[in-house]
Amino acid sequence: MRVFIIDLTQVDFDAEPLVMINPEIIEKKGEIIGEEGCLSFPGLYFDVPRAEQVVVEYQDLDGKCKRIRAYGLTARAVQHENDHLDGVLFIDYLSATQRDLFAGRLKKIKVG
């Protein structure tokens, strides 16, 4: 089972936490580069290219199949969290030059 929760209520007061079980991104449109951070790498922020909007199918907590079109920050969060499920981290989007530039900062972060 693949699960993630997106809670954007701290930045969007109209948002509600979104639980996605076995999500599958079935459509991506556009591209936008935006700054991202990750709890796995506290204090680090990088520009990451993402689709501007995505269509994602998933199951909710009641097991009902859902399909949404996500835009903006929600689309970015869905892609970021779905990457985690696939073993991809936001630092994997860095170029070799960027990795060399930030190598010292990355080494200081203890994984565990």
For the annotated catalytic residues, the residue numbers are 81
Residue type, 37: G
Closest Cα partner for 73 from 88, 94, 52?
A: 52
User: What is the rounded distance in angstroms from the CA atom of residue 42 to the CA atom of residue 28?
Assistant: 28
SS3 10: coil
